[in-house]
Structure 1
Amino acid sequence: MTPDRYGKQDFIKSSPHFFRLIYGALLIFLVLALCGGVLLPAPLLGPADPGNPPNPAKSAWFLLWIQELVSYSTVLIYPALATGLLFLLLPWLPLHRHAWRASWLPRGQLAVNIITLAVFSLIIILTCVAAYLRGPQWSFVTPF
């Protein structure tokens, strides 16, 4: 079958087949997010005292990768902002012809897939380093 010639019998209704997958994925995500919120508490402190600054505190777990990044150099906030802009533009980046059917990691979008997976991996690594390998005064410590 070619992309130009398809009939009504070639389609499957989205409801209920597709939406069952979406609802299942949403439920799994919500359970994981709630468990993460309970098991990984945000290190919130009391009101700030300008006369007695505390030991550099860690950010909330979802911002730790940015804190780790700017601990090397404050200039590194700009690549983080550029990454945010890149992810906002991701839906429009594949400039090739649209696919006539959906697929995971299509060959025509290889560059977008590699960029996305690389950035995601870097964010996970930086978050783990900041969460488990940083101690007082933001010095490296062993996690155990």
Structure 2
Amino acid sequence: MIEIEDLFDVVCANIIEDDWKLYKVFKPMKVFNKELETLFDIGVHKSLKLDDIINNLKDHIVLLSDSKEILKNAYGDFMFIDVDDNWYNNIDIYKILIKVNEDGSIDSKVECGDDENIFDVYFKNNDIINIMESNIR
């Protein structure tokens, strides 16, 4: 699970965002029940204190980690196809961006790929709100 000490400020990386404090997480995490070694990017609106939102952020990461069935159902609905465990077992996850907005809501984008497509899964708080193909392989 993520802790405050796992969030590394990227101010020294010359990333300039007026309204956001940006962090990287350098530890293995789970997304869609898949263990990842990839980097997580997290943006927290500057009006918020990390101590005040860390529990909501943890809850969102738990949701992302345990959302295999949610992903399968949403992907099938958005793409109008039948998906099964075989499809799920062949997806790769490339990048995760999580943003904690000024109002405390959380948006996240998970970049994924299956055997044929690269697609982005968009969450608003606890729900998948969109899945969009970004490239055809």
**Bin for the TM-score computed over the shorter chain:** under 0.3
Higher strand share: 2
Which structure has more relative contact order (CA 8 Å, sep 6+)? It is: 1
Counting helix residues as a fraction of each chain, which structure ranks higher? Answer: 1
Bigger Rg over Cα: 1
